[in-house]
Chains A and B, each alone.
Chain A
Amino acid sequence: MSGFDRTAEYVSHHSEEEGKKMRKTIWVIFWVLLAVTTVEVSLGLVWKEMGLAWNFVKITFLVLTLVKAYYIVAYYMHLKHEYKNFIYMVALPYIVLIVYLIVMLLVEGVYINEVDVLK
C-alpha cells in the first residue's frame, strides 16, 4: 500500500496453533453469554411464581447485563488485550457520561414525583 496507509504496522497475525487456542476462548465466551441469557429469560418467566421481590429481580437483570457487556467488549471486541492507555481512552469518557446520566435520572426522577405538574 501507499506510504500514507500504515495500517500494516499494527496488524496482528497469528499461527495455526495460536488460532486453535483463540477459537477455544471464543466458544467458551459464547457458552458464558448463552448461559447468562438463559438465566435472564428463565428468571423473567418464573420470578412471579417463585415469589421473588421485584427489586431483587431487577438488580439481578442489571448485574447479568453488565456481565454480558463486559465479556463482549473485553473478549469479542478485544479491548482487554489492547494497551492500558487505549482502554482508558475508550472507557473513561463513557463511564463519566453514564454516571452523569444516571445521577440526573435519579435526581430528576425523585423531583418529578414531588412536583408533578403533569398529573
Chain B
Amino acid sequence: MSGKAPSVDAKKLWGGGFSPFNVSYGKIMMWFFLVSDAFSFSGLLVSYGFMRHRFEEVWPVAEDVFTHFPFLHGDHPLLYVAFMTFILIMSSVTMVLAVEAGHRMNKKGVVVWMTWTIVGGLIFVGSQAWEWYHFIHGTELGALQLADGSIVQWLSDAKDGLLLTNGTEVTGADAAAMIQAGTEVYGANLTVNEYGVPLFANFFFFITGFHGTHVFSGVVINFVILVNVLKGTYEKRGHYEMVEKVGLYWHFVDLVWVFVFTFFYLI
C-alpha cells in the first residue's frame, strides 16, 4: 500500500460536495445569527458597565430596587430574580431533552418536553412583566426630586426629612425648603426614576426588554415547531433537526439571561 495517501472521511474535505463542518446549512446559519445577536447583547452590556462606572455615586443598587416577591410582604432582594433564573435554566433542560428525544425519533417525548419548555418560557415572560410593573409603579413612599433634578430619599414615612446621596441627613427648616422646591416622584420611567438616575431605568427597560422580546419570540417559534411536531411533519421528514435549531436559539436566550442576571442584579 505504499504511496497511497491515508484515507480521510470525505465529509471533512473542503473540496465541495460536503459541509466541511459536518453541520447542515440551516444549523450553520442559526449559529451565525446567534453570534451576531451575541454581539448586540455584548455591546449593550458593555455600555451599561461604562455608564454605571461613570455615574457610580448615583447609580441605584439593584438589591434595593427589586425586592418584591408575589404574595409576600417585606424585603426579599434577589429571591424573585433567582426564581426567574431557575425557571429559565429548567426550560433549557426540557429543551435539550426534547432535542434528545428527537434524535431517537420519539415523537411523544419531543411533544412533552417542548410543551414544558413553552410553559417555562411563558412563566418567565410573565415574571418579567410583573417585575416591570413594580418597577414602573414604584414604592408607596416614593422619593423627592430636588429643584436641580437629582433624586433624594425620604428619611421616614413622615416625609419631613431627607437622605442625600452622599449620606447626609437633612431635617427641619432646611428639609422643608428643599421639599417645597422639589417634586415627589413615584416609580421609574424613561425620564424620572425614584431609585436614582433615569439612565438606570433606560438601560433596565432596554436590556431586559430586548431579552424579553427574545424570550417571547422564542416561545412563539417553539410553539410553531411544536405544532409541526404534532402534525407529524418531522416524522415524515425522517429527522427532528428543526427542534435542534430552535433549541439552539432557546439555549442562547438562557445564556444571555445568565449574563444579564450577573450584571444587573448581582454586581
Contact = CB atoms under 8 A, between A and B. Distances in A.
Contacts of A23: 97, 100
B22 A101 contact: no
Contacts of B63: 44
Interface stretch (B48-56, B124-132, B189-197): B48-56
Contacts of B141: none
B262 A40 contact: yes
Given A65-B262, A83-B12, A41 B89 contact: no
B86 A34 contact: yes
Q: Is the interface of B mostly helix, strand, loop or mixed?
A: helix
B112 interface: no
Most B-side CB within 10 Å, residue of A14, A58, A101: A101
Given A61-B267, A82-B21, A101-B46, A14 B26 contact: no
B159 interface: no
A30 B104 contact: no
A29 B46 CA distance: 28
Nearest to B252: A77
A53 interface: no
A90 interface: yes
Q: Is the interface of A mostly helix, strand, loop or mixed?
A: helix
Interface string B7-49: 0000010000011111111111001000100110011001001
Given A72-B251, A72-B255, A26 B100 contact: yes
A85 B21 contact: yes
Interface string A79-115: 0001101100110011001100110110011001000
Contacts of B21: 82-83, 85-86, 89
Contacts of A68: 258
A44 B266 contact: yes
A72 B241 contact: no
A7 B25 contact: yes
Nearest to A48: B63
Contacts of B39: 94, 97
B82 A10 contact: no
B93 interface: yes
Given A13-B103, A45-B78, A6 B97 contact: no
Contact of A7 (B24, B93, B247): B24
Contact of A90 (B31, B90, B239, B266): B31
A77 B255 CA distance: 10
B74 interface: no
Interface string A40-63: 110011000000000000100110
A76 B96 contact: yes
A99 to B, nearest CB: 11
A9 B17 CA distance: 11
B104 A15 contact: yes
23 contacts: A7-B24, A9-B24, A10-B23, A16-B104, A26-B93, A26-B97, A26-B100, A41-B82, A62-B262, A65-B259, A72-B254, A73-B255, A76-B96, A76-B251, A77-B251, A85-B20, A85-B21, A86-B21, A90-B35, A94-B35, A97-B39, A98-B42, A108-B50
Query: Which 5 A-B residue pairs are closest in the complex by CB-CB distance?
Result: A86-B21, A11-B239, A10-B24, A7-B24, A65-B262
Interface of B: 12, 18-28, 31, 35, 38-39, 42-43, 46, 49-50, 53-54, 63, 77-79, 82, 85-86, 89-90, 92-93, 95-97, 100-101, 103-105, 237-239, 241, 247-248, 251-252, 254-255, 258-259, 261-262, 265-267
